[in-house]
Amino acid sequence: MDVTITSPHRDSYAKLVEDLKDTISGYIEEDAVTPSEFVGALRQALSECLEWHDTRGTLLRDAQSLLGAYSALPAPSDRQFLQEKYQAGAWKGDD
């Protein structure tokens, strides 16, 4: 199968092919797993990667949503911010 690879990816693609050949040799040719188990493992790995990235995306969207909710509130002035920090004891012991 011929695949056209753009020049910035040529080296990465060649390395990937070599890595996959080593993986195939180590698992299929050495009878560690069957070909269908190998393909199933690839599918599961891709699925788990996708799930992890979906979770990260959800967390980022939640953070973005919270930022949007808080941006509607007026920002505290520098004086108000410093007063709140002082009242909370942020500078205790810094005499």
Residue 19 within a domain: yes
pTM for this prediction:
0.56
Distant-in-sequence, close-in-space partners of 34: CB < 8 Å, separation ≥ 6: 28
Determine, yes or no, domain membership for 92.
no
Q: Give residue 30's pLDDT.
A: 94
Is 3 inside any structural domain? Answer: no
Query: Looking at the 3D structure of the chain, how many domains does it have?
Result: 1
- Which range of residues forms the domain containing residue 82? 8-87
| Residues 38 and 24: beta-carbon distance below 8 Å | yes
pLDDT tens by residue, the chain, 95 residues: 677 777 788 899 999 999 999 999 999 999 999 999 999 999 999 999 999 999 999 998 888 888 887 666 666 677 776 677 667 665 555 54
